[in-house]
Structure 1
């Protein structure tokens, strides 16, 4: 379903230009001109995760289309950062919670032709490994919403243990975006954990290829992961793994 064209609010426009300055000047980002999908097509964006500013870089390429990122709810409602996240219409996920509403929101937005973003690693990768073990929630959303997966690779994102500190850190960031991954052959199989895991690994391998790591073999996090069970209101049996998308 095509997305309804709507403009940013005044507050969103203000932060859009602030973000543009940071991405272009502070982080000197090298970016593609646009996303490789039609302007009215929904998609699930996935990316490696090295910094709290990763969504900011990708948003510049999305231009007037807001990317709704699934973000761990780490800040108390009403705080400055929590309000900032509300302005950008993120989909908050309570860590360790059993609430499946974030996934339902992601599916609804993607089905309506909007852009949804997830980091398969579920948290910022501070290790020496290319990527941490992944969670397959993004594939479940893509299958349910019947949208393609768009692999992205970010290199050079500045990291600091304090989430807002990278805003003040100079760097040289490069964003590479791959071709959309068509999962239409597997629509209706989102309850098959074997299929979902295999597709998740395939999609993350595409991120690795963008980085030049053709031999990288991603791993699924945890054991016994299952997708929605029949008769349980489409609730994932292991919500913690799906919902820790940061």
Structure 2
């Protein structure tokens, strides 16, 4: 109920009137049944505009840092994220990351729509970076199709580091579903997981027109931070 109220009474009227989002390929999202939406990630507001354009509720896996803020501000952000269907996940690796992926699989086994950013982080440069294989594992474990998505100009509407959004028209292109059922039962094979993930990233790159870089975006970001600290 809270999701419906936030989306239809508050977010939708404001975002539609201000940013006039356009969408292509919306018919590629199944009307029923579990599915993964795998998108590029260029702005924090990607998780607002994609659900806005769909009738179905989209649950996103969001990094746990967003849910741990202190005071009234932290409570407000946490309440908002929970209200719009975002789930806290731990990206620290090991068992914590495994548990986070299990959370995504539970959403899918319940017949839901799961939104995920295979890159694992926002692009630090606007290019498309190597995908994490967690998306492939969830596809095989939950036995669901994946729909590639490309976001356009959300990074111009809300650049990294900005607090107040800029009025800019944004867009979404939704590709045709990808079926990896031929790999059923092979979720433990890391080479299969990498192959599936790379195929998804190639399709996202085709839809978005972004230059693909076969390096993790987080690796590039960490290198930049290390260079600044040196």
TM-score norm. by structure 2 comes to 0.81
The answer to which of 140-149 and 118-127 deviates more is 118-127
Name the residue aligned to 2:12. Answer: 20
CA distance in 2, matches of 1:159, 1:126: 13
Q: Does 1:66 align with 2:64?
A: no
Gaps in structure 2 of 5+ consecutive residues? 218-230
Q: CA deviation at 1:164?
A: 5.3
Instruction: Pick one of 39, 49, 74 that aligns with 2:41.
Output: 49
> 1:33 touches 1:61 (CA, 8 Å); kept in 2?
no
> 1:52 touches 1:164 (CA, 8 Å); kept in 2?
no
Other structure's SS at 1:52 match: coil
Cα distance, 1:51–1:22 mapped onto 2, change above 3 Å: farther
CA distance in 2, matches of 1:31, 1:131: 20
Q: Does 1:90 align with 2:86?
A: yes
Q: Does 1:152 align with 2:166?
A: no
> 2:7 touches 2:84 (CA, 8 Å); kept in 1?
no
Q: CA deviation at 1:31?
A: 1.4
CA distance in 1, matches of 2:176, 2:213: 19
Provide Cα deviations, 1:148-184, integer angstroms capped at 9, x if missing partner. Answer: 0100001110233347533xx2111110000000111
Which structure dedicates a bigger proportion of its chain to helix?
2
Which structure dedicates a bigger proportion of its chain to strand?
2
Cα distance, 1:220–1:161 mapped onto 2, change above 3 Å: closer
Q: CA deviation at 1:212?
A: 3.7
Q: CA deviation at 1:20?
A: 1.2
> 1:26 touches 1:170 (CA, 8 Å); kept in 2?
yes
Cα distance, 1:49–1:162 mapped onto 2, change above 3 Å: same
Gaps in structure 1 of 5+ consecutive residues? 1-8, 223-246
CA-atom RMSD in angstroms = 2.2
Q: CA deviation at 1:33?
A: 7.0
CA distance in 1, matches of 2:79, 2:117: 21
> 1:32 touches 1:61 (CA, 8 Å); kept in 2?
no
Instruction: Pick one of 129, 134, 142 that aligns with 1:132.
Output: 129
> 1:134 touches 1:218 (CA, 8 Å); kept in 2?
no
Q: CA deviation at 1:119?
A: 0.5
CA distance in 2, matches of 1:171, 1:80: 26
The answer to which of 42-51 and 80-89 deviates more is 80-89
Cα distance, 1:119–1:23 mapped onto 2, change above 3 Å: same
